Structure formats: structure tokens, C-alpha cells
Amino acid sequence: MIEESVIREVKERLDIVEVIGDFVSLKRSGSSYKALSPFTNEKTPSFFVSPSKQIFKCFSTGKGGDAIEFLKEVEGMTYIDAIKYLGEKYGVEINESTSGYEQNNDKESLLILINKSKDFFIENLKTDEGKNIALTYFNHRNISVDMIKKFELGYSIDKWDSLYKFLIKNQFSDDNIIKAGLILENNNKKYDRFRNRVIFPIHNLSGKTIAFGARILTEDKKQPKYINSPETSLYIKSNILYGLYQSKYEIRKLDNCFLVEGYTDVISLFQIGIENVVASSGTSLTTNQIKLISRYTKNITILFDGDKAGVAASLRGMDLILENDMNVEIVSFPEGDDPDSYSKKVGKDKFQEFIDGNKTDLITFKVNLLQENEDNPVKKSEMIYDIVRSISKIPNSIKRSLFLKEASNSLEINEQALISEMNKLLLGQGNKTVRSNQIIVNNEKESPREDSINSAIDFYERECIRMLVNYGTSDFEVIGLDRKTFIDYFLKEIQDIEFENKNYLKIIEVFKSEYKKDKVIDINYFLSGDFVDIKDDIIDLSSNRYEISKQWKNKFNIHVSEESDSLKKTTYTNILRLKFRLIRKMIKDNLQNLDKSDKHSIDEDVIKLHNKLKSAEVDIAKELGNVTSV
């Protein structure tokens, strides 16, 4: 385990904006930061980060927490993984008191094992075999020493079990070595999967190696040129883009991502100074990969070598990109060239000039393909339909209209005919939505209407506890009275209220307990393992999605009254409103008892209680009228 003092130091040093900014493109919004959710495919930002509270909140999914929780959600890290990652990022030495690698959980054990293997492959470059074979190959491909280090390239020597013996010597189990996909078994014999190949480590977004790609260096036609690690709990091919860890900052900076096919394409572009590039590593582009890119930019430029297979793959990927409301352009290289070879021929400036001069949008690219089949009416009609189908994938109706107009002009086809075909496609897609929506509507009709009094009680219970969480912790500035006085005032005002929400009751009890110890707590106090059941409520109560920025306030001379400006009054008003609704509920329940009573012998206690409650209702209503409207 990692010592608590070390964990505390990591938490004190970290900046949640920096941590999340490594994975998501954040933009300032008032005193917070916002972004498109990394958990869903959305058009309007619903993901917010509060630097003052050091928490995040995703309103589209309800997820929230601190920097550690974010790393667990986005990267699938364990708690220990996240602490180690943050310790490395912020210069805190992590001394873990374990007696061996196997005491870690499955994912963490695999991560340690794979990264130990990566180090082994790198060290192999220093051997005579590594120098004579692997470094000679890298030199032949004009891959510099800097690129070898940046991408942590390595070599698996030409022996059956060199890696296996190394891992066993370092106390890794056969079971985990097999799970990691590093060895194969045949006739009860174990041997290295990647022997006699140069190694391309595949990194996750935090920079840890999670898998390997490997290229053979001999002309053995029985062996595939490239092989990859099999999928594991750490490595799912459809969720990974090669080079994204190294390129994410440049992609965000330039607001564009070049998409190539292979490892060497990425490395060669990096070497000439073009660093906003990732590779799909020979697999078809997936929705999850597009979502990864969308964290940093809405613009993708596909670079491919122009063969028929490459064109087909690009077209499939392009439609997926459009479906996800991204912008896509395509660049086709001269025959016989790919991004790797062409970049080495011409260098950065000429390469960029070629990109700028030859990139085409969806319509232009498909029209050019159509012209190749100009004399074949069947193929031509199929291609026109394919163009319309691609345009129909675009979620934005205005963008669809512009593309249709461009297609009509380029193809010299009546725009209305294209619109008619697209409407058929949209109607076909829309019918499913309509049916789905109808089910939802029917369900709503069949479900009972929520009681308005209970809804009001739920709301004002939440508002009261929100005040306590926001102004009873050390994360917020209390104006007009000190924090201890505020908590004391709050607890006294609610002592005759029975809260119905069990989580809110627990929050109150925590404040009561710590208040008696004369201790001020912060938001992170609630994010520990002791409060798993109320953690989500704490995050939700602490998060504010809407806030007017200081620039707007200053520019338009807007004055917005903050609840913290008159904290006592705001707190008192919320508590009064809750009491008012609770009394109304009690009146309603009491009247139901009156209706059930024998008409000839009306219960006098019920009448007395009714009169007492109505009197209290009037008193609170007057009090609320003096403070604010009900």
C-alpha cells in the first residue's frame, strides 16, 4: 500500500485543470472550465471542472469527483495507478510497501508486466544483435535516435524465450505473462510472441505502455509483416490510436488531427516536425477512436496512399466521422507514396504545402471518384446515392443543406432530386426515433404524476443541504460570518426538521460530528472510501453548471446578486421554504385522516391539529413574505 501521507502530498500538489486538460480540451467558463463530455457523444458542453473545489462534474452522465476519480473513469486506472501517475506527474516519490508484483490487482499487474517488458525491449537495442539488426533497420528507415527515445522503440532478439525467461526471473507469473499476450504456448512449450522483430510500444493517454506492435525484419513470406498484442483488459484495439499520447497537445493547439495508417507514418511525420498525427494501426476507424480525437479537435484530415483498399477504408471512416458531427478532409498521395515515404522526400514545408494544396472535402473527393465511372450509368447512380447517403449522416441540418447544394452543382443534378433521396434516408432513420420516442411518451402517460408537494419538499431539502455543503466546507469563502458560526446557525435552524432523503441525513450527521470536534472539512473529505454512498450527492451539490463570466459582467455592467452576499438570509429563506412545504404536506395528510373519520363522531384531535398546522402555515407564509416571495 501507499502511505497516506504520500497520497495526501499528491492531492495537495495536483491541479485538476492540468490533469484533466491532458485528456480533454478545456475552455474557461467563468470561474470554471467546460468541455464536451469524454463519456458521451454530445454537441453542447456538459462537462465542467472547478479549480477552486478541485472537482469535475459531467451533467450528461452524472459522473463526478476529483482528479483521481477522473483518471479511473477515463483511463480505467485503479486508485493506486492514479496515485502513481499523479506522483510521477507532480514529482512525488511513491514508495509502495508490497513484497512483489503479484500483490497488485489484475490490471495493475499487467501494466507493470508490460512496461517491464518494454524496458527489456529497449535494453535489447544495446546488445550486439540489437545494434546490428534493429538499429540498422531504424537507420535504414531514417528514424532518428530522438524518435527512438520518444516512441520508446525496442527490439525482441532472435531467441525463442528471452523475454519469457526475463519475466520469470523478475517474479512474474505464467498466468499474467500469458494474459498480457507476450508468449505463446504449443505442445506445453512457451515461446516469445515477438521474437526477431522491432517493437513499437502502444501507449495509453497517460503514457503507459499497454500493448505492442512488432515488425519482422526478414523476408519470410510465411510470417505476417506486422503483428500486434492480442486484446487484454488494458488493450482494446477499437479504443486506441497510436501516437495520441505524444500528439494530443499539438492536435489541440493546431485544432486538427492528421489520421494515417501505420506506426512509421506517425514517426516519420513527427521527425519532420509535424506532430498532430495519429494512426489507426491498420484497423478500420471506429466510433470510439473518433470520440478520442474529438476530445482535442473537431477536425480530422485523413492521409492515405491512394490504393483502392485505402480509398474504401477512408470512405467508411469518413462516414463515421460525419455521424459523430466532426469535420473531415482527405489527402491522397501520389501513386507509390504514403505519408512516411513522401515526408522523407520533401521535408516539413513541402509536405505541409502538399497537404494544403490537395486536401478535399467529402463532396469533392467522392465527385472525383464518380468521374472515373462517368461512362457506367449503374456505377454512377450508385456513387451519387452513396454521396447522398454520406450527407444524410451529418447531424447538423444546415451543414447537410450546404453539402447538398455543393453536390448538386458539382454533379449537375437537380438539387430537389438529391433532397428527395436524402429525405427518404432521413425518414427511414427517423421512423426508428419516432417509434422509440413514442414508447417513451407512452411510458410517461402510463406512469403516475409526481406529487407536487413531494417534489417541492425534495427540491428544498436539496437546496438546504446544498447550502451546508457549499458554505460549511473550507472550499468556499463565507461572507458576513465565520464558518463555525454558519454551521452552528444552520444546524440549529433545521433541528426540528426530519429530512426524508437518507443521504442528506448522513451529510448532516457528518457535519454535526466534525462540528463537535471543532474541525473544518473540505470537499475531498467526502470523496474518500468512507462516503461512497453520498459521494455523488456531494459532487452534484457542489457543482454549478451555469455562471455568468466576469468579462460579461464587466462588459455589460451586469450586477448579479450572489447568495453568498447575504448567506444568513439565503439559508434562512431556504429552510423556511422547506418548512412551509412540509407543513402543507402534513395538512394534506391530516385532511385525509379527517375524510376517513366517522362523520357522526369527528376526531377533535384531528381538528385541533389541522388548526395548529394552518396557523403555522400562515405564520411561515408571512415570514416568507417579509424575506422573499414563496
In terms of domains, do 231 and 251 share one? Answer: no
Tell me the residue range of the domain where 463 lies: 453-545+560-627
150-171 as b/e: b if 16+ CB within 10 A: ebbbbbbbeeeebbbebbeeee
pLDDT in tens, 314-343: 677 788 888 888 899 999 888 888 999 999
CATH code, 346:
3.40.1360.10
64 has which bridge partners? 57
Q: Which residue type is seen at 216?
A: I
Give the range among 70-79, 207-216, 395-404, 422-431 with minimum mean pLDDT. 422-431
DSSP secondary structure code for residue 208 in this structure: -
How many domains does the chain divide into?
Answer: 4
pLDDT at 306: 59
pLDDT at 518: 75
In terms of domains, do 8 and 43 share one? Answer: yes
Q: Is residue 97 predicted with pLDDT exceeding 90?
A: no
In terms of domains, do 263 and 350 share one? Answer: yes
Domain stops at, among 308, 327, 360: 360
pLDDT in tens, 599-627: 555 567 778 888 888 888 888 888 887 65
In terms of domains, do 596 and 512 share one? Answer: yes
Please choose, from the candidates 339, 198, 357, the residue with its C-alpha nearest in 3D space to the C-alpha of residue 269.
339
Q: Model confidence at 590, in pLDDT bands (50, 70, 90)?
A: confident
In terms of domains, do 111 and 150 share one? Answer: yes
In terms of domains, do 515 and 579 share one? Answer: yes
pLDDT at 180: 94
Q: Is residue 375 predicted with pLDDT exceeding 60?
A: yes
Whether 104 contacts 112, CB under 8 Å: yes
DSSP per-residue letters across 416-477: HHHHHHHHHHHHHHHHHHHHHHHHHHHHHHHSPPPPHHHHHHHHHHHHHHHHHHHHSSTTS-
In terms of domains, do 84 and 121 share one? Answer: no
pLDDT at 481: 60
Return the number of other C-beta atoms located less than 10 Å from residue 240's C-beta.
Answer: 25
pLDDT at 599: 53
Q: Is residue 550 part of a domain?
A: no
As a whole-number percent, the residues of the chain with pLDDT over 90 amount to 37
Stretch 448-461: mean pLDDT: 75
Return the number of other C-beta atoms located less than 10 Å from residue 101's C-beta.
Answer: 17
Q: Where are the alpha helices (DSSP H) in 472-603?
A: 483-493, 502-516, 532-542, 550-555, 567-596
Cell readout for 121 is: 525491449
Sheet holding 277-279, edge to edge: 277-279, 257-260, 299-304, 327-332
pLDDT at 256: 96
Mean residue pLDDT of the chain comes to 83
Q: Which residue type is seen at 605?
A: D
Cell readout for 131 is: 545494434
Q: Model confidence at 442, in pLDDT bands (50, 70, 90)?
A: very low
In terms of domains, do 344 and 491 share one? Answer: no
In terms of domains, do 30 and 117 share one? Answer: no
Domain stops at, among 335, 360, 385: 360
Stretch 32-57: mean pLDDT: 89
pLDDT at 390: 87
CATH code, 20:
3.90.580.10
In terms of domains, do 355 and 461 share one? Answer: no
Domain stops at, among 334, 360, 386: 360
Q: Which residue type is seen at 195?
A: R
Question: Residue 610 contacts by C-beta under 8 Å, 6 or more apart in sequence?
Answer: 587, 590, 591, 594
Stretch 303-320: mean pLDDT: 69
